[in-house]
Amino acid sequence: MKVLANDGLDQSGIDALTEKGFEVITAKVPQEFLVDYINEHKIRTLLVRSATQVRKDIIDGCPSLDIIGRGGVGMDNIDVDYAREKGIHVINTPSASSESVAELVFAHLFSGARFLQDSNRKMPLVGDTEFAGLKKAYAAGIELRGKTIGIVGMGRIGQEVARIALGLGMRVVAADNNVGKASIKVKFYNNQFINVDIETEPLQEVLKHSDFITLHVPAQKDGYMIGKNEFEIMKDGVAVVNCSRGGVIDEAALIQALDSGKVRFAGLDVFINEPTPSKEILGHSKISLTPHTGASTLEAQDRIGLSLAEQISSILQIQ
Ligand SMILES: O=C(O)[C@H](O)COP(=O)(O)O
């Protein structure tokens, strides 16, 4: 029983699968050779992250496949319905990375609020006499405490963001077409639990009233969710973070809003044309940028590996 983990797999998953008798191959097979590789090696389970595309050509070309597994949440790189129609099991790990993605949201928020991305870029480049100038340029930082964070998408990650925000003393507002009221349980260090009910509001209201906006929605099929019109209704000096999918924000409109000062800063873990961001995004002093690493923590990948191994064993009924 061969498993090809084409975008890698944490050792936890490799060990758990090997223990059950699977042979786990972690070769990174280029997209164009994937069909031949899977057939030649009689692969029955294909595991991917977001890099490998599992489209109709792979599904039709590889009749040996029983399972397609996504180590992560978003399955926009897999033709899920088509694969299921063909009788292939398609699985993912929806809850394994929520904490890690939510923490990255705050890494971007703190970075932008205190100009870390710009000082990291500039300090190695300036001479002694210019440091004072930089200090002045970075003097107008802002605090998160007491500010309003607007969470767009109150799924697992959105709720984890809310938990951290409440712990930081932020006011939380949220929009979600599917969740009317999110009940969040917050645990504090003294082991006290507090239940907080967050009623969702229409997107426009959240955009209007938030100091910070963070997006937790799937890849958009019908154009940008946040474009010129949406930036216009936001507060002056708002900050926007996107750790969901590239293409949710219109990047040209974002650059314009940053340059005009409408948007104070942006944090982007995802962007159009991944893995290569546009020059404008890459060099912008007001953008804190990461290369789609929301789920890339030791803890999240460990949980993802274990979850995939458990699901595969259970589907194939291996005790
Ligand atoms: O959908 C996800 O789980 C994230 O976007 C993570 O993607 P990655 O596994 O490619 O890091």
Domain boundaries, the chain: 2-93+298-316, 97-289
The answer, yes or no, to whether any atom of ligand 1 lies below 6 A from the CB of 295, is: yes
Q: So what CATH class is 2-93+298-316?
A: alpha beta
Taking the C-alpha atoms of residue 267 and residue 239, their distance in angstroms, rounded to an integer, is 8
CB of 98 closer than 6 A to ligand 1? no
Residue of 104, 45, 52, 101 lying closest to 75 (CA atoms): 52
Statement: residue 112 has pLDDT above 80: yes
Confirm whether 49 is a catalytic residue. Answer: no
CB 216 near ligand 1, within 6 Å = no
Q: Whose CA is nearest to atom 10 of ligand 1?
A: 50
Cβ pair 83, 63 in contact under 8 A: no
Tokens representing residue 251 in the block: 């990047």
Q: How many residues does the chain have?
A: 319
Residue nearest to atom 9 of ligand 1 (CA): 49
Q: Which of 6, 7, 73, 90 to mutate to test the pocket of ligand 1 (most atoms within 8 A of CB)?
A: 73
Active-site option among 44, 49, 245, 264? 245
Please report the pLDDT score of residue 188 as a whole number: 75
Q: Is the pLDDT of residue 87 over 80?
A: yes
Mean pLDDT, to the nearest integer, of 221-230?
96
Report in angstroms the alpha-carbon separations of 88 from 75, 105, 224, 246, 297: 15, 34, 31, 28, 29
What is the CATH superfamily name and number for domain 97-289? NAD(P)-binding Rossmann-like Domain (3.40.50.720)
- What confidence tens digit (pLDDT) does each residue in 259-285 have? 999 999 999 999 999 999 999 999 999
Q: Which of 248, 171, 276 has the alpha carbon at shortest distance from 266?
A: 248
CA of 299 to the centre of ligand 1 (A): 14
Q: Determine if ligand 1 sits within 6 Å of the CB of residue 69.
A: no
The C-alpha atoms of residue 288 and residue 278 are separated, in whole angstroms, by 14
- Which among 254, 312, 316 has a CA at the least distance from the CA of 288? 254
Q: How confident is the model at residue 256 (pLDDT cuts 50, 70, 90)?
A: very high
Among 49, 70, 156, 292, the active-site one is 292
Cβ(292) – ligand 1 distance below 6 Å: yes
Decide if 2-93+298-316 and 97-289 have a common fold: yes
- Active site includes 163? no
Going by pLDDT thresholds of 50, 70 and 90, the confidence category of residue 318 is confident
For residue 101, how far is its CA from the centre of ligand 1 (angstroms)?
A: 9
Model confidence at 319: pLDDT above 90: no
